[in-house]
Amino acid sequence: MGNRTDRELESRERQSRSSTPAYKPASQLPDPYEQDGYTFRWVRTAILGQPDTRNVSTQRRDGYEPVKAEDHPELMLSMDHHSGASGNVEIGGLMLSKAPTERVKARQAYYEGVNDQQIRSVDNTFMRESDPRMPLFSEKRSEVSFTKR
């Protein structure tokens, strides 16, 4: 019995779980080939069978323009046959649109600023109601310590 080695010193061949790719369900919408300087987005053109011209108009004013089917032949297999009459890439009431990446980033920065302002406003209103005798918010911290056996 004195010839035994500790289990910690033994090595085993293990199959790495990271070598197996994680499952990801297939997308319902195909991805177009990337185009330098542009960001793609699917824009709703219809809801429950009714045209949604207001949403399309809003997206157009926001800088998104419809993508022509002839510019992306890789998407032709996925397209609705009845929507091909418009000449745009349209699948299931969604139309592929593109906008300059700079404009998309500027829009995102704008809405992040609006969001930050709203959060600050809510925090200020909430903290204004706080009383030092009974604070509404107190920062709680917990620590985890490990001891050796």
In this structure, what DSSP letter does residue 135 have?
Answer: -
**What are the residue ranges of helices labelled H in the chain?**
53-61, 101-128
pLDDT digits (tens, 9 = 90+) for 66-113: 999 888 888 877 666 555 557 888 888 899 999 999 999 999 999 999
pLDDT, greater one: 146 or 36: 36
Q: Is the overall model pTM greater than 0.85, yes or no?
A: no
Task: State the Cα–Cα distance between residues 97 and 42, nearest whole angstrom.
Answer: 6
Task: State the Cα–Cα distance between residues 90 and 87, nearest whole angstrom.
Answer: 9
Structure tokens at 108: 């995102």
